[in-house]
Structure 1
């Protein structure tokens, strides 16, 4: 009998972990009864009592396991590490806030049995803020156009991954993994299934400007070259324009000294424009350097504090 692992990353989800465990268990009992299963919560150092709730759930049900992180290791490292710890013939990854429909699990498994190694849930529509979704859509389209690697729009990681792909993730040994990009770049035999993203069942989102910016920069610096190419092209163009302007200014000063008085305002504006461009591209270069630096340090994805229900 095949075994399916269900990985559920969580952080401060005390009101959701219990109902989520019940919902997943119900799907297996009603629609996937011919499979063995394990439900794995990986907690990213919650501070609201979620860890105590997980201890109770694990004590009551042998199918439920938990990994408790020693600290918060970020929104990408923790799920990726959890995927690498699963032992099922396939692994389904979904969020703990019920925005990913638990009812889609049987459909994912059906497509997997049909021969697909990866089944991705794509947010065709969403009940989230329209402005936020608009910015997300714009970001996905920009990354897709700028990247040499195929990018999957409105894919958050919700989906099913065959054991062979999970083993590939384990072998990559990437200290700063970006799962969405890895799936698009290395995933084969992929099936995309659209769904409507629901609102949170309880609690509040932990995403803010910093976390969204961090995600955007990780994908940008990992899968695009256009930032540095633009810096080179614009820098070359600005240098050429500056040299031409300096030559023209010299000729006018030599030939029409009295008719061409000196002025500081144009010079000041030029300094501000070129200085701003320089700062922008130095900052962009810094993002690439930070990405490289993190990979060179090769620190562990996660440091565990405790495991529950693991043999």
Structure 2
């Protein structure tokens, strides 16, 4: 039987893009010798996204829909969607068309060549130069301090063999850093570089908090370096503080009448060490928060409904539905 490709698309308030995305994916897959299913996982959209996907799913059983009971965030929902894939390979692609569907053919070529993991990377981008520089700097930093080699400039889009998805199903992490997780598995990774276009329609759902969230998740999940830097930094600063204290004491004893310590150095030192302590406590808090999230063992998402899955919640694999008149005949 022809192999099945599962395409997973997380979405939230993407009514302006989902129809074009589905059409482009259908056109791309029509040129490839594979069956496919297209699973949309909606993060409780407040616009017409769910309505439009249901309309497409009513005429094409390859299009499936999972609607979350609430917005579970940009980390958990895509990962949960991947776990629902039943194909021989799973493709993750965003709903904003900034990861062009044409990349799927390139992913599959790498997969056919024997790679179990293929990631899209963006060495160039049409986004704002400042944001692009910030992202590249972050990727370089995380790659340098990570316990495992990470793929720089990965967008999150890519293809993952069934063997990779089966391993991901065994990972008990309610808040996973997916881009790092596929690197930890250890299979050789192929990359497909492309120039990321600007978003054509709609507005990005990323903001400072979501970007900070994923940045800290990448650091706390894959590196102990910050913790060790805190310990080493604290030790070094304590030695420096003791040395300065002895120097000040010696200067006062030697030049009792002429040496005035003054309040300015004391205030500067207090603010410096207080800010350093707050930085270290904040980093430590990120690690504690990550532990707390895992200990709670909450589900990745809670589903509100499914469309084009069978009564047991399993995938219904099918080709495009025939018109109702033909079925009656």
User: Given the two structures, how large is their TM-score scaled by the length of structure 1?
Assistant: 0.96
1:1-311 alignment runs, 5 A limit: 1-29=2-30, 31-32=31-32, 34-311=33-310
Query: Does the 8 Å contact 1:17/1:96 carry over to 2?
Result: yes
CA drift at 1:187: 3.9
Distance 2:145 2:109 in 1: 34
Higher fraction of helix = 1
Distance 2:201 2:173 in 1: 33
Distance 1:174 1:115 in 2: 28
Q: Secondary structure at the match of 2:204?
A: coil
Query: Which moves more between the two structures, 174-183 or 241-250?
Result: 241-250
Q: Secondary structure at the match of 2:102?
A: helix
Q: Secondary structure at the match of 1:102?
A: coil
CA drift at 1:250: 2.5
Query: Which moves more between the two structures, 195-204 or 38-47?
Result: 195-204
Distance 1:63 1:201 in 2: 26
Q: Secondary structure at the match of 1:193?
A: strand
Query: Does the 8 Å contact 1:118/1:187 carry over to 2?
Result: no
Task: Compute the RMSD of aligned alpha carbons.
Answer: 1.2
CA drift at 1:178: 0.8
CA drift at 1:148: 2.2
CA drift at 1:218: 0.3
Query: Which moves more between the two structures, 45-54 or 185-194?
Result: 185-194
Distance 1:119 1:230 in 2: 33
Q: CA-to-partner distance for each residue in 1:239-284, whole Å, 9 max, x for gaps?
A: 1122122222223333332122341111111111111111111111
CA drift at 1:112: 1.2
Query: Does the 8 Å contact 1:165/1:187 carry over to 2?
Result: no
Distance 2:271 2:118 in 1: 50
CA drift at 1:79: 0.6
Q: CA-to-partner distance for each residue in 1:115-163, whole Å, 9 max, x for gaps?
A: 1111111112111111110111111111111122101111122111000
CA drift at 1:61: 0.9
Distance 2:136 2:254 in 1: 55
Q: Secondary structure at the match of 2:243?
A: helix
Distance 1:189 1:234 in 2: 36
CA drift at 1:58: 1.1
CA drift at 1:176: 1.0
Distance 2:123 2:259 in 1: 61
Q: Secondary structure at the match of 2:66?
A: strand
Q: CA-to-partner distance for each residue in 1:186-207, whole Å, 9 max, x for gaps?
A: 1413211111111223101111
Unaligned stretches of 5+ in structure 1? Answer: none
Distance 1:184 1:262 in 2: 55
CA drift at 1:50: 0.8
Q: How many residues align?
A: 309
User: Given the two structures, how large is their TM-score scaled by the length of structure 2?
Assistant: 0.91
Match of 2:320 in 1: none
